[in-house]
Structure 1
Amino acid sequence: MFVDWFLLIYLTNPYMTTNLTFEKLFFALSLTVAVAGCGSASDKKDETPQDSSIVATSITETIPVPTGTTEVFKEFDWTTIPQSNSEIGAFPYVSAPAGFYIQEKDSYSESKTGYSHLKDFNKLIIFNGQSFFNAEGKVAELKFRRKDENAEWNQYGFDSSVDKYLASIGAKLLAKLNITKAQEDFLNKDDDKAIYNHIIGDPYNDPVRFYALNHPKGKIMFQVSSNTATGEIGVVELADFEQTIKAPTAVQMKKDIDANGKAILNINFDTDKSTLLPDGQKAVDEILTLLKDNSSLKIAIEGHTDNAGTAARNKTLSAERANTILKSLTSRGVASNRLTAAGFGAERPLVANDSDENMARNRRVELVKK
């Protein structure tokens, strides 16, 4: 029917007969026959749906549907990492490949310690392909350079040496990561420098490789990054945080004020806020006891910060924290004429802000006798 209809139009239309080539006619006829062969929906009513069901099932099995997101922190499952008894030497457990050296933190000279930078307690953010993990403990950063300054950087040689060495000591490759926008927003939501401070290299442009080593010397994790110009390794030997700051007591505060004219306190607040943490509130409770036991004592509450952040923000923050303490004391019965509050930001450091430990010392509150 369809073929007859087409031939009738063709033979009675002079334009088509003069302009359609035989090949075009043959193609059109073939297409028409194919369409006719398909039939209408009504012609298919009696067919079973088995074939379409099979196709749908095979597609589902071939293309797995994502079941979650990687924007989450979870505890790391060390039972998935077999213990290794390989010889690994001393921390940081990695040396430079032949032709390379580990540089000092702030210069191109060769490191004498085996690392570029060391932090007694810090963290590396580790990725296992499914979630992130805060690996806390002793952290070393290693930056590598070519011994021959005129030699071309050999990324393949560097990567091969590092990856094969880590495999040889029993370290397991967990994942490779190029930071996505969603992961960037997740990791930096509370600290816009979290990725910069806790993942080595440039994970936005160069994939970072993550390894875990379960060893009698400890649980150790590695970050490895390289590109066509440089290579870096981050190493963390996991350890629990050991609190070395003791809660100040009213008795000790009084001794310090009598001896030095002031008491220096490490009072903990929320990061970049003036909200007291629970142990910070306990310290304020001791200040209250001090003032109640010494009714003639008048003090200036002075807030201080480290030098991280802008000078203006640090000064504002330190003043807000000092005023938080003042308001807490006056709300519980201390006369306001016995207290003043001021913030000095990073203007009066106790020590140089050149390490995490020193920066922690500079983040303080001083009770100065008036």
Structure 2
Amino acid sequence: MKHSLKPLFLFSALFILACNSNNKNGQQQDADTTAGTGTAGEAQATTAPQGQAFDINSIPVSDKDLGAFPYFSTPEGFRYQVEEDKEFHRIYHFVDNKLVPVEGRTFTAYIFHDEAKRKEFEPLLFERNYDNLIKSLGGVLVAEGHIPPSELERLGRDELYKYHGPADIWNDDVKTYVIRKPGAEIWVQTSHNTAGGSIVVSQKGEMKQTASIIRADEMKQELDSKGHIALYINFDTDKADIKSESQPVMDEIYKLLSDNGDLKISIEGHTDNTGNAAHNMELSEQRAAAVKNALTGKGIAANRLESKGLGQTQPLADNGTEDGKAKNRRVELVKK
């Protein structure tokens, strides 16, 4: 039996619910029977105060055992479809009437009924199972409802298609929960319509750096042989603030310029094609200028440096793939 996905879920989200592989069903049944009576998690808030700005520190730290990521199974009679488990990704979660990015490990999935066990998708059963279970684990409902059109327009479809969960955020209501553990921040979103549901779990965390930096002498060789070199400097999302993890790269550029006093370079910012071209041009200019300012701030003469942005106009790779987009988001040093 085929299901109608409507644009079914272009962004909802899953959340975490603790269950080891050997006891997932048992824990879920416990949640179903206890959450309705108030015996589970009585000492912890289960709904954020209304009318107040969201503060992550207001969420009680849970002492419940969540098991292994992504922490839980589907309710009995339901099944996952199109699961994605990503080591490091970004998902936009709905809170304070806006969409905020959460980066870290993510799990996303559509959820439908199992035809062999259930005749049709039952929205209330789906919603109530997850609501009960999340709250029994110390989770707090921090937002629910329809995402304002202004928020969708602000981010744009390109950005949301890239960093959505499986939910139709243009049409469906969503529920957002947060579970705090010692040293961990876990965001969960669920959404559903009459045909099926979706779930996303985002465990906030830093990316594990595996690529090594290019040393100053290697930069010099590349500039001498090719006249330019592409470097990957990380910035805050949609901003020109250089992330601390990119400081080693900045140190090597500084060393390159310090060791070669006659060298003059142009610092050129590039983006992928996500979002608005004019905005990308402006952002690339700001990021190139940020690199220049960081170097002059350490004592490199300003007349040895110039900066400019080229936006999405000179891609190195295919913007149709995630790897290609990552290669296109770069800063190039060009020998003058």
Return the TM-score normalized by structure 2. Answer: 0.58
C-alpha distance after superposition, 1:58-80 (max 9, x if no partner): xxxxxxxxx9843x3422345x3
Letter in 2 for 1:349: L
Q: Provide the rounded CA distance (Å) in 2 between the counterparts of 1:163 and 1:68.
A: 18
Q: Which residue of 2 aligns with 1:137?
A: 104
- The answer to whether structure 1 residue 155 and structure 2 residue 123 are counterparts is yes
Offset of residue 364 of structure 1:
0.9
Q: Show the 5 A alignment for 1:201-212.
A: 201=167, 206-212=172-178
The residue number in structure 2 matching 1:101 is 79
Asked if 1:308 corresponds to 2:279, the answer is no
Structure 1 pair 198–81 and aligned structure 2 pair: CA distance change class (3 A): farther
One of 310, 314, 317 as aligned partner of 1:343: 310
Q: SS of the residue aligned with 1:306?
A: coil
CA distance in 2, matches of 1:318, 1:120: 24
Deviations 1:131-184 (A, max 9, x none): 99875531222212344499543213322443444456x343535511476xx7
User: CA 1:238/1:318 → structure 2, altered by over 3 Å: closer, same or farther?
Assistant: closer
Per the TM alignment, residue 206 of structure 1 is displaced from its structure 2 partner at its CA by 4.4
In 2, are the aligned partners of 1:306 and 1:349 still within 8 Å (CA)? no
Aligned residue for 2:57? Answer: 76
| CA deviation profile, 1:75-95 (whole Å, cap 9, x unmatched) | 2345x3541236x4x321233
Residue 81 to residue 300, structure 1, CA distance change in 2 (3 Å):
closer
Q: Whole-Å Cα distance in 2 between the matches of residues 313 and 215 of structure 1?
A: 38
Q: Is the 8 A contact 1:173 1:212 kept in 2?
A: yes
CA distance in 1, matches of 2:77, 2:121: 10
Please state whether the residue corresponding to 1:103 is helix, strand or coil: strand
In structure 1, C-alpha distance between the alignment counterparts of 2:152 and 2:54, rounded to whole Å: 13
Q: Is the 8 A contact 1:85 1:215 kept in 2?
A: no
- Contact preservation (8 Å) 2:77, 2:113: yes
In the TM superposition, residue 308 of structure 1 has moved relative to its aligned partner by 0.9
Q: For residues 293-332 of structure 1, what are the structure 2 equivalents within 5 Å?
A: 293-295=259-261, 297=263, 299=265, 301-311=267-277, 313-315=279-281, 317-318=283-284, 321-322=287-288, 332=301
- CA-CA distance at 1:220 after TM superposition: 3.5
Contact 2:265 2:334 in 1 (8 A): yes
For residue 86 of structure 2, give the secondary structure of its aligned residue in structure 1: strand
The number of residue pairs the alignment matches comes to 280
CA drift of 1:265 comes to: 1.8
Kindly indicate whether the alpha-carbon contact (under 8 Å) linking 1:124 and 1:234 is maintained by their aligned counterparts in 2. Answer: no
Q: Which residue of 1 aligns with 2:229?
A: 263
Kindly indicate which of the two structures has a greater share of residues assigned to helix.
Answer: 1
Q: Is the 8 A contact 1:124 1:139 kept in 2?
A: no
Residue 34 of structure 2: aligned partner = none
Deviations 1:103-149 (A, max 9, x none): 22xxxxxxxxxx2353514355365x999987553122221234449
Q: Say if 1:307 and 1:81 are closer, same or farther in 2 by CA, change over 3 A.
A: same
The verdict on how the C-alpha distance between 1:358 and 1:97 changes in structure 2, with shifts beyond 3 A counting, is: farther
User: Which of residues 178, 188, 213 in structure 1 aligns to 2:145?
Assistant: 178
Once residues 128 and 290 of structure 2 are traced to their aligned partners in structure 1, the CA distance between those partners, rounded to angstroms, is 55
Name the amino acid aligned to 2:139: K
Asked if the contact 1:83–1:213 (Cα under 8 Å) also holds between the matched residues in 2, the reply is no
Report the Cα distance in structure 2 between the residues aligned to 1:207 and 1:133, rounded to whole angstroms. Answer: 16
**Structure 2 vs 1, CA of residues 247 and 69 (structure 1 numbering), >3 Å: closer, same or farther?**
farther
CA contact (8 A) 1:318 1:343 kept: yes
CA separation of 1:134/1:285 partners in 2, compared to 1, >3 Å: closer, same or farther? closer
Asked if the contact 2:188/2:199 (under 8 Å) is kept, the reply is yes
Unaligned runs of 5+ in 2: 1-48
The structure-2 alpha-carbon separation of the partners of 1:351 and 1:77, relative to structure 1 and needing over 3 Å to count, comes to farther
Deviation at 1:99, TM superposition (A): 4.2
- Offset from partner CA, 1:170-212 (integer Å, 9 cap, x none): 343535511476xx76x77985679885677456764433444
Is contact 2:317–2:325 with CA below 8 Å preserved after alignment?
A: no
Question: Is contact 1:311-1:345 (8 Å) kept?
Answer: yes
Matches for 1:1-370 after TM superposition, within 5 Å: 69-70=51-52, 72-78=53-59, 80-85=60-65, 88=67, 90-104=68-82, 115-116=83-84, 118=86, 120-123=88-91, 125=93, 127=95, 136-148=103-115, 152-166=120-134, 170-179=137-146, 191=155, 197=163, 201=167, 206-213=172-179, 220-240=186-206, 250-258=216-224, 262-268=228-234, 272=238, 275=240, 277=242, 287=253, 290-291=256-257, 293-295=259-261, 297=263, 299=265, 301-311=267-277, 313-315=279-281, 317-318=283-284, 321-322=287-288, 332-334=301-303, 343=310, 345=312, 347-350=314-317, 354-355=321-322, 359-369=325-335
Q: Partners in 2 of 1:176 and 1:298 — Cα distance?
A: 52
Contact 2:266–2:334, Cα closer than 8 Å, also in 1: yes
Give yes or no for contact 2:91–2:103 (8 Å, CA) kept in 1.
Answer: yes
CA contact (8 A) 2:91 2:165 kept: no
Larger radius of gyration between Structure 1 and Structure 2: 1
